[in-house]
Amino acid sequence: MALTLQQIRADVADALGEDPADVPDDENLVDLGLDSIRIMSLIGRWRREHAVETAFVDLAEHPSIESWAAVLGVTS
Amino acid sequence: MTTAPAAVPEVRSLPLTAAQSGMWYAQRLDPDSPAQNTAECLEIRGPLAPVLFAEALHRTVGETDALRVRIEETPDGPRQFAIDIEPPGHGFPLHAADLRDQGDPSAVAYAWMRDDLARPLDLATGPLFRHALFQVGDAHWLWYQRVHHIVLDGFGYALVARRAAEVYRALAAGGDPGPSPFGRLGALVTEDAAYRASEACDADRAHWRAAVADRPEVPGLAGRTALPQRTFLRQTARIDTGLTGRIEELAGEVRATWPEVLMATQALYVSRATGSFGVVLGVPMMGRMGSAALRIPGMVMNVVPLRLHVTPATTFAELTRQVVLGIRAARRHQRYRYEDIRRDLGLLGEGRALVGPLVNVMPFDYGPDFAGAPTEAHNLSAGPVEDLTVNVYDRGDGAGLRIDHDGNPALYGQTELAAHQERFLELLGRIADSDPHLPLAAHSLPTAAERTAVVEEFNRTARPLPPTTLIGPIEAQAARTPDAPALVDGGQTLSYAQLDGRANRLARYLVSRGVGPGTVVALALPRSAGLVVALLAVLKAGGAYLPLDPDYPAQRLRYMTEDAAPVCAVTDVPGRLPDTGLPQIALEGLDLSGHPGLTPPRALTPQHPAYVIYTSGSTGKPKGVVVPHAAIDNRLRWMQDAYPLGAGDRVLQKTPSGFDVSVWEFFWPLREGATLVLAAPGGHKDPAYLARLIREQAVTTCHFVPSMLQVFLAEPDAARCTGLRRVFCSGEALARETAQEFARLLPDVPLHNLYGPTEAAVDVTYHACRPGDAGPVPIGRPVWNTRLYVLDPALAPCPPGIAGELYLAGGQLATGYLGRPALTATRFVADLYGPPGTRMYRTGDLARWTADGEIEYLGRTDHQVKLRGLRIELGEIEAALAADPAVSAACALVREDRPGDQRLVGYVTAADGQDPDPEALRRRLATALPDHMVPGAFVVLDGFPLSPNGKLDRAALPVPESTAGEGRVPRSHQEETLARLFAEVLGLPSVGVDDAFFDLGGTSLLAARLVTRVRAALGTDLTIGTVFQAPTPAALATALGAGDGGADDALGVLLPLRAHGDRTPLFVLHPAGGISWCYSGLLARLGPRQPVHGLQARGLARDEELPTTMEEMAADYAAQIRRVQPDGPYRLLGWSVGGVLAHTVAVLLQEAGARVELLALLDAYPSDQWRDQAVPDETDALTALLRMAGFERGGELTRADVLATLQREGSALAGLSGRTLSAAVDIVINNARLMRAHDHRVFDGDVLFFTAAAPRAEDWLTPGAWQPYVRGTLQRHDIDCLHPQMTQAPHLDTIAARLAARLEELNG
């Protein structure tokens, strides 16, 4: 199943312990508690569940949902 | 094959980032420290081409400009300069070795690494990294990287390693590794500078300042802090995949990550181990999120404080949530440097920690791939360790987690570190297996084995005993040995039968007055046979005794008698107590002849109260502790078993009856057929009296409060109390130094340290001091039928080594506080670890178990203090102070501004319109409180200092001022020495000769110290009693002079500066003025075993002919010297003219066949050098006189001017009479004349020579002029001072140190 913007948002919210509605696409996720271990768990999750390969640095460099969508090639 | 990395234009020098600056300053503090070396070792299992590897490494380093720097201080501060790195084989710092032929290749490799890691790096030269590649098997390699932390952090290591592997793979495949993925060091510097100039930085500073201002004081496990050392200790363990999985599961359950679970566990551990609900962990952060630094290998990481509140009622889920939210909040301010937070709070330097343990989780997906060979990374050093750092590595290799406990070796030993790690891991396992929604009270620190030890094994004290009372065994003993001596009171001795008979008669009378089991009888008698009779009588009647000190203020006596509601009071004479309507029975004139001397019948059980003793109460009122017979009977039976008393033993009774130590003193000997020896009333404060009494009365057993023991040991006769068989200490912490001093003076007498509160029948622990032991003296193991618990704030047991509050349980507990059920219920609580229905007493004492089951006392958990063994609740003093109408608020404190010198200080603020007068406060307090609770100093403040969170900041209360140092100047060298010693001991800048020791804050403890110093400096015998009788330097000098040569002798030809000592004496010869007092500074510096005798000029003490030649003078002195020491070898020293004399005396002694083993000259020059100089006139003589006193001459013209200067400067010479001063001037002139006419002969030996090396007018003086007159060598030492300064500190320190070393050699 392809990764969607909605799924990214849901997974990020889950990793942060927040409600998806409380995670705006342009928010700096670091301010919401994103850390390296959570990024790595997301990378692992997306690899397992959506066969998406990405590098830690690519996500950590611009930690927001909209940037990640671009990095991960997700458009909608 | 070797290709230089693409030439990239680069800035040649950059400033340091803030992160680097902190490390640069740390390194500069200790340039030779290797502490900031970090290192990793990557194990590569597979084929590897070393040449390709070296090439890959070289290219990677070429891409990493942060590594290729050296750091040097410039006028603009430290900067990093780019350096060139040579290719492999041409200087590239890569050590390659094939170790396959070694027995244990890996061991050899790791030894090499450890050695390399211990080498400090020179930041100014670089390179700041080094590599090594070891082949330890055919397909087994070890890649070692060591980098100074200032250029690379842990994340940076991972970047470098992975890029190196990437390049290697490309080279191995014959391809191109592609462009460097790394960003530049310049970008880090720019980003850092931008941040530091930003508003965000200001906001972060404000955030941290507010966030940690009121943090807990002792955040670390060691309970203290220390600077990071050059090395660290490491204990390594693995968390297996099973436990890792369970931790991850738990993390999911509480919506957190596994590192957060580890941090929460560590917070719980720290909270319990420190006994504090407030915990501050340090959390290292990589600091690269959302930053270009993600692609830059460099030093970026930071540490942020994480404050947590851990209570027993908190659940683990809640604690983990605190961690998650705390880190989230901290992350927003993570760019602000840890060092800057500390600096903002004024915490730089030792002793002020910001955070406790660091939890450093490194989850980096590390494993670089060297063309398919599997790798495993091992950290070897993660940098300096401030306190404790828990490094957790997830190498993503499926082998679980590696956990390193790194400890500062100044704070932790390897065993301690291992114990912390083992407990942490067991705790982690228990938490992983528990419901995270349970309160944390369910968890405790000890491992299962530790728990069994501290709760069960250390407390195996059960001992069945017969149900007896305090008095029963005494009556049985009286029946067994009626004629044995029971009691000695001065000249009076009572046999057991006599004592028993008298007590029985009084007991029967007391019964007739209504005394019986369960009733209380007040006793107000001074220490006497009558007191002992009364004590026994009350017990025989079945009653409990209440000791009242007749010296207490009436107000307090009234309170105690009303509170305890005794049936009656027994006194020695009528009117001893204030009239409160209480029936008073005065023994004086009481006719008991109508009562038979037989034991009265009574229905007394072991549960009935035996005595009621009042202790200070925190709420402002003292409280009566009710102790039942069973409790004290247990205590005395244990004591007899532990330290058997026999018929020949004589026990000293000196503790006032109001303190519970007196209970065993009174009753133990009488239960065992021994003899009770009563000290005179008040005698317990007089060490000389006690020493005499102990010897004269052949006392075998006695007790001292440790501070009094210290005073006693300073008494010269203490060492002669060799009839003692055992000495007990209790009442306050026994210092190891005191125990060692005791062992030194009384080596054959065992010293026992006991501990217990009044609430547990005197003592509950015991420890025998051993002379060889070091560290704090333990209070020891539990006595019979007694259990000790050291509990954390959740009332869970603390493992050995971890401090907690001491609880007591078992047979010795008091019944409770008289008439205070609520207070009793708060201090005597249900025993959680004992049989159902039993109680434990909460001592308020901090303690910890040692590994072998002894308790160490660490202090109080509250404001109760002990002052010289007496228990004091500061709250009670504060309540009494605040009750004064002139006072609005009050605080009391025991200060220890000088080590070992505790004094009670009261601080007050004035009530509206009032001006509190310290003297009036003291008087009013003395009417309400016993003497020992009346502060020695009062300070009136405008307001109390407050901590940031608004609490009273006790540490900021000022030291009370004292005034001293004015007044008359010293008259003699003894007065001068004594005034100086007074000042040293009292910690004052100066003390006048008429200032009284005790007025200046002196205590008996300080007096003991003074006595020791005076003995050392003057070599005279004196006692503390002398200090009491003669408390000023002037009076003491007189007192000493009376016993050891008169004061007139201070001007005699022979001046015994220190007459006694077992070493060969040192003779010191006077300078021009003829007086040798200037050498008194040598005394303390050469130690008490070195006798020192001064030679002084004829004509000073009385009118007599002055010598006519130097030979004549020297011959006179040689004769004087032989009077003191008939035979050689001789030791001589002289300053100035004294040096010329010393040389002459030495020659004379040698010519007479004696050996001279030391000739020391202090800036003295032979006659030849003076011959052509004019003989001094009166003016020159006055100059010389001033020099003798250590001054350069200024505008002084006449003898009167000179005298005025001497007086103003407080010189001992100022006390000279006009006659003596005139004589001294004549002597100066005469000596100058004789010296010019003198012809030196040759001294056969070496000369120790001290030159006053500062530039001077007489530049023609040279030590070399001695050469013709010295057969041996002239050993020269230059002292950076002028001639007159030689006998003054600090120059005399240098001279004395050389001299002492030489004397030590001669002593062999």
Does residue B150 lie in a domain region?
yes
Least confident of A39-48, B122-131, B827-836, B1168-1177: B1168-1177
Of all residues in chain B, the percent with pLDDT exceeding 70 is 93
Test B289 with A38 for CB contact under 8 angstroms.
no
Q: What is the CATH number of the domain that holds B1283?
A: 3.40.50.1820
In one-letter notation, the amino acid at residue B607 is Q
pLDDT at B11: 52
Same domain, B1009 and B1113: no
| CA distance linking residue A28 with residue A11, whole number of Å | 16
Does residue B555 lie in a domain region?
yes
Beta-sheet strand order (sheet of B401-407)? B233-239, B401-407, B388-393, B358-362, B278-285, B302-309
Q: Write down the pLDDT at residue B835.
A: 93
Chain B interface mutation, best of A19, A28, A32, A37, highest count of B Cβ atoms under 10 Å: A37
What's residue B296's pLDDT?
A: 95
Residues sharing a CB contact under 8 Å with residue B1085, sequence separation 6 or more, in sequence order = B1292, B1293, B1296, B1297, B1300
Q: Which residue has the higher pLDDT, B1033 or B763?
A: B763
How far CA B348 is from CA of B201, B203, B357, B1249, B1301, in Å, comes to 20, 22, 18, 45, 39
Longest dimension (CA), chain A: 30
Residue B900, pLDDT score: 57
Q: Which of B312, B252, B262 minimizes the C-alpha distance to B283?
A: B262
* Buried-exposed string B642-662: b where 16+ CB fall within 10 A, e elsewhere: ebebeeebbbbbbbbbbbbbb
Alpha-carbon distance values, B1020 to B880, B997, B1014 (Å): 45, 19, 7
pLDDT at B966 (0 to 100): 47
| CA–CA separation, B1231 and B905 (whole Å) | 56
Closest partner residue to B294 (CB to CB) among A33, A40, A57 is A57
- Residue B731's region, left for phi above 0, alpha for psi from -120 to 50, else beta, is left
Q: Structure tokens of B1285?
A: 């300064």
> Is some CB atom of chain A closer than 8 A to the CB atom of B257?
yes
Query: Which pLDDT tens digit goes with each residue over B704-742?
Result: 998 889 889 988 889 999 999 999 999 888 988 889 989
Question: In chain A, where are the structural domains located?
Answer: 5-71
Q: Most B CBs within 10 Å: which of A29, A36, A42, A67, as the mutation test of the B interface? A: A36
Contacts of B331 in chain A (CB under 8 A): 30-31, 33, 35
Residues of chain B with C-beta less than 8 angstroms from the C-beta of A35: 257, 289, 327, 331
- Residue B1290 scores a pLDDT above 50: yes
Q: For testing the chain A interface, which of B254, B257, B261, B335 should be mutated: the one with the most A CBs within 10 Å?
A: B257
Sign of CA dihedral B159, B162, B166, B171: positive
Close Cβ partners of B1287 (under 8 Å, ≥ 6 residues apart):
B1078, B1079, B1081, B1135, B1162, B1190
d(CA A1, nearest CA chain B) in Å = 24
Our CA-based measurement puts residue A66 at a distance from the nearest CA of chain B, in whole angstroms, of: 14
B327 touches chain A (CB under 8 A): yes
- Co-location of B1289 and B1152 in the same domain: yes
Q: Both B514 and B412 in a single domain?
A: no
CA distance B273 to B276: 8
Looking at the complex, report in whole angstroms how far the Cα of residue B291 sits from the nearest Cα belonging to chain A.
6
Helix (H/G/I), strand (E/B), else coil: B1053: coil
- What value does the mean pLDDT take over residues B840-866? 89
- Residue B449, in any domain of the structure: no
Give the per-residue pLDDT at B1037: 85
pLDDT at B1272: 87
Q: What is the pLDDT of residue B9?
A: 42
Residue whose C-alpha is closest to residue B46's, from B149, B146, B169? B169
Minimal Cα distance from A32: which residue of B?
B328
Tokens standing for residue B1269: 């007159």
Question: CA of B568: how far to CAs of B509, B516, B523, B528, in Å?
Answer: 12, 12, 9, 20
CA separation for the pair B231, B30 (Å, rounded): 12
Determine how β-strand B358-362 pairs with β-strand B388-393: parallel
Of B216 and B422, which is predicted with more confidence? Answer: B422
Among the candidates B836, B860, B884, a domain finishes at B860
- Give the domain-ending residue among B877, B909, B944: B944
Model pLDDT, residue B1280: 84
Are B1023 and B1051 members of one domain? Answer: no
- Residues B537 and B904: their CA atoms lie apart, in Å, by 38
CB contact at 8 A, B1107 and B1137: no
A34 interface with B at CB cutoff 8 Å: yes
Domain count, chain B: 7
Residues in chain A: 76
Partner A contacted by B290 (CB < 8 A):
yes
Residues B527 and B618 in one domain: yes
In a domain, B727, yes or no: no
**What pLDDT score does B963 carry?**
46
Whether chain A has a CB inside 8 Å of the CB on B291: the answer is yes
Is B990's pLDDT higher than 90?
A: no
Instruction: Round to whole Å and give the CA distance between B623 and B621.
Output: 6
* Domain assignment of residue B957, yes or no: no
Among B149, B973, B1283, B1291, the active-site one is B1283
Residue B202 reports pLDDT greater than 90: yes
- pLDDT mean over B690-715: 92
Q: Check whether residue B34 and residue B101 sit in a common domain.
A: yes
* B551 domain-assigned: yes
- pLDDT beyond 60 at B1211: no
What DSSP assignment string belongs to B878-934? HHHHHTSTTEEEEEEEEEEEETTEEEEEEEEEEPTT----HHHHHHHHHTTS-GGGS
Confidence of residue B984 (pLDDT cuts 50, 70, 90): confident
Residue B690 token pair = 């006690």
Low-confidence residues of chain A: pLDDT under 70 = 76
Contact at CB, A33 and B288, closer than 8 angstroms: no
Query: How much is the pLDDT for B1286?
Result: 83
Contact with chain A for residue B1126, Cβ under 8 A: no
Question: Is any Cβ of chain B less than 8 angstroms from the Cβ of A60?
Answer: yes
Residue B1063 φ then ψ, to 5°: -90, 165
Task: Indicate the residue of B289, B295, B364 with minimum beta-carbon distance to A30.
Answer: B289
- Average pLDDT of the residues in B1147-1171: 92
* pLDDT beyond 90 at B421: yes
Contacts of residue B327 in chain A, CB cutoff 8 Å?
33, 35
Would the CB atoms of B289 and A63 count as touching at under 8 Å? yes
* pLDDT confidence of residue B403: 96
Does a structural domain hold residue B198? no
For residue B847, what are the domain limits? 785-860
CB count within 10 Å of CB B490 equals 10
> Closest-CA residue in chain B for A17?
B255
Whether the pLDDT of residue B164 is over 90: the answer is: yes
B364 touches chain A (CB under 8 A): yes
**Would you tell me how many other CB atoms lie within 10 Å of the CB of residue B479?**
12
Whole-number Å distance between alpha carbons of B52 and B33: 34
* CA distance, residue A44 to nearest chain B CA (Å): 11
Which pLDDT does position B198 carry in this prediction?
Answer: 96
Report which DSSP code applies to B797.
B
Closest-CA residue of B relative to A58 is B294
pLDDT (0 to 100) of residue B365: 61
Mean pLDDT of chain B: 88
Q: Which residues of A27-53 are buried (b: 16+ CB within 10 A; e: fewer)?
A: bebbebbbbbbbbbbbbebbeeebebe
Residue B252 distance to chain A (closest CA, Å): 9
Distance to chain B for A62, nearest Cα, Å: 5
Confidence of residue B1034 (pLDDT cuts 50, 70, 90): confident
Enter the ipTM.
0.94
Q: Is residue B657 one of the residues assigned to a domain?
A: no
Chain B CA closest to residue A35: B289
Whether B259 and chain A come into contact, CB under 8 Å, resolves to yes
Q: What is the pLDDT of residues B343-391, one digit of tens each?
A: 888 776 555 788 999 999 987 666 778 888 888 888 999 999 989 999 9
Q: What is the pLDDT of residues B80-136, one digit of tens each?
A: 999 999 999 888 999 999 999 999 999 999 999 999 999 999 999 989 999 999 999
- Phi and psi of B1023, rounded to 5°? -120, 170
Is the preceding peptide bond at B970 cis, omega within 30 degrees of 0? no
Closest chain B residue to A27, measured at CA:
B290
Interface contact flag, B331 A35, Cβ < 8 Å: yes
B718 contacts B686 by C-beta, under 8 angstroms: no
Tell me which chain A residues have a C-beta less than 8 angstroms from the C-beta of B324.
Answer: 17, 33
The beta strand positions in B318-369, using DSSP E, are 358-362
Q: Among candidates B105, B422, B427, which has minimal Cα distance to B272?
A: B427
User: Considering just the CA atoms, what is the radius of gyration of chain B in Å?
Assistant: 39
Q: Is B292 on the interface with A (CB under 8 A)?
A: yes
A42: closest CA of chain B, how far (Å): 12
Do residue B411 and residue B339 come from a single domain?
yes
What was the pLDDT predicted at B952? 75
Q: Does A37 touch chain B (CB under 8 A)?
A: yes
Residue B692 has pLDDT above 60, yes or no: yes
Structure tokens at B1204: 């005025």
Average pLDDT on B934-944 reads 85
Please name the member of A28, A31, A36 whose beta carbon is closest to the beta carbon of B286: A36
- B1143 and B1241 co-located in one domain: yes
Per-residue pLDDT at B1 exceeds 60: no
Chain-chain contact of B289 with A40 (C-beta, under 8 angstroms): no
How many beta-carbon pairs under 8 angstroms link A with B? 50
B1000: pLDDT strictly greater than 80: no
Residue B1084: its pLDDT value, please?
65
User: Is B279 found in the same domain as B415?
Assistant: yes
Q: Residue B290: list chain A partners with CB under 8 A.
A: 28, 30, 60-63
% of residues, chain B, pLDDT over 90? 58
Q: Which of B796, B760, B785 is nearest to B454 (CA)?
A: B796
What was the pLDDT predicted at B1044? Answer: 40
B95 is an active site residue: no
Asked if A37 and B363 come within 8 Å (Cβ–Cβ), the reply is yes
Same domain assignment for residues B434 and B300: yes
Facing residue for A30 by CB, picked from B259, B295, B331: B331
Pick the CATH number of A5-71 from 1.10.1200.10, 3.40.50.9100, 3.40.1160.10, 3.90.1300.10: 1.10.1200.10
- Domain CATH number, residue B979: 1.10.1200.10
Residues B1185 and B1266 placed together within one structural domain of the fold: yes
Cβ–Cβ < 8 Å for B912, B967? no
Same domain, yes or no: B1063 and B998 = no
